[in-house]
Structure 1
Amino acid sequence: MSETGPRLVTWENGTDLVIELPVARDVESVWDALTDSETARTWFAPFRLGEESADAGDDVDVPASRPLTFELEDADLDGTVLSCEEYDHVLLELEAFGVLGIRLLPVEGDSGEETLLVFTHSAADVESARAQAAEFGPMWDTHLRLFARALGLEIDEATEPELNAAYSDLSLDVADSGDSTDSADADEAGS
């Protein structure tokens, strides 16, 4: 059975709300479901992609971007695909939410090849991340649970009070950048 695992992770450029979801499906199956507009209708909203921007040209330092629109029931949610590597990750910037990412990591599991889906919602600092987690975390968690169900997986229901409590008091991890001072900071942040 799948279960979400949320936390905050601070790193050199900000702090992310990170929600991990183990999925008993291979990366290709998860990616295909994630990037199919009709499947997305069952767990979030159908979407349409615009043409890739010509801003990048041949300059590898300027990422190509694509406009993206999620077709919600009462309005459109516009954004941009900032980065996308098939079967690996997608990084979006949505006007109403900021920068969101989904990374798929292959893992060995009970059923063989499985996937760890890692969802991130970026913020500039810890305070902003805590506020975003409390406001949006329950919603993202609910959509990830719906995604797992769209894949045919069993996942426990979570009530609104349970989700609100979980996302209002998340632990804070410090990303390891390889610098020995980070581990001391992590110890202090975890205290």
Structure 2
Amino acid sequence: MSEPSPRLVTWENGTDLVIELLLARDVETVWNALTDAETAGTWFAPFRLGEETADTGDDGDGPASRPLTFELEDADLDGSVLSCDDYDHVLLELEAFGVLGIRLLPVEGDSGDESLLVFTHTAADVESARGQAADFGPMWDTHLRLFARALGIDIAEATEPELVAAYSDLSLEAADSGDGTDSADADEDEA
């Protein structure tokens, strides 16, 4: 049985709420379920994609983006797809939440080919990330559990008080700088 594993990770451009979830399905199966517009309604909300546009900054050059709308029961949630590489990752910016990412990593597991789903919710700093984790972490956790169930994976239920307690007191770690120094032992009291 799989369980979401949340933490806060600080890096050079901010701090992310990171939730990892090991799924006993191959990357292709997980990706197809994740990106199917209609069946997304079973775990989050159906969505529709607009035509790709070029975001232009002051210099007239910028990344391509694609408008995205999740069709919630009582309102639409608008945003855009900032980056997408099939069977690897999708990076979204949603008006109500900011920047969110989902990355899939293939893993050899007990059941054969498995996938590690890595969900991120980016904040500008540690204090903002802690607030977002407390406010939105239980919701993201619940939707990830629903996603696992949509794939036919047995995953434990979690009560709202359990999720609120877990996401209100996450450990903080520093992202590996890649320079050979070990920065994973960040002070948890950093703010």
Which letter maps to 1:116?
A: L
> Which segments of structure 1 move beyond 4 Å, counting only runs of 4 or more?
none
Q: Name the count of aligned residue pairs.
A: 186
Cα distance, 1:54–1:26 mapped onto 2, change above 3 Å: same
% identical equivalent positions: 84
Hey, what does 1:75 align to over in structure 2? 75
Is the 2:13–2:124 Cα contact (8 Å) retained in structure 1?
yes
Say if 2:156 is the partner of 1:156: yes
What is the CA-CA distance between 1:189 and the residue it aligns to? 1.3
Structure 2: 5+ residue stretches without partners:
none
2:185 paired with 1:187:
yes
* TM-score (structure 2 length as normaliser): 0.93
Alignment partner, residue 94 of structure 2: 94
Q: Which amino acid aligns with 1:187?
A: D
- Equivalence for 1:44: 44
1:149-169 CA-to-partner distances (Å, cap 9, x unmatched) read 000000000000000000000
- Give the SS at the match of 1:189: coil
Cα RMSD after superposing both structures: 1.6
- The superposition leaves residues 57-76 of structure 1 with CA deviations (integer Å, 9 ceiling, x where unpaired) of xxxx7321000000000000
Deviations 1:29-56 (A, max 9, x none): 0000000012100000000000000447
CA deviation after TM superposition for structure 1 residue 93, in Å = 0.2
1:180 to partner: Cα distance: 5.4
Q: Which has the higher helix share?
A: 1
TM, length-normalised to structure 1: 0.93
Instruction: State the alpha-carbon separation in 2 of the partners of residues 40 and 169 from structure 1.
Output: 30
- The 5-angstrom pairing of residues 1-191 of structure 1 reads 1-55=1-55, 62-179=62-179, 183=183, 186-190=184-188
1:73/1:165 Cα in 2 relative to 1: closer, same or farther (>3 Å)? same
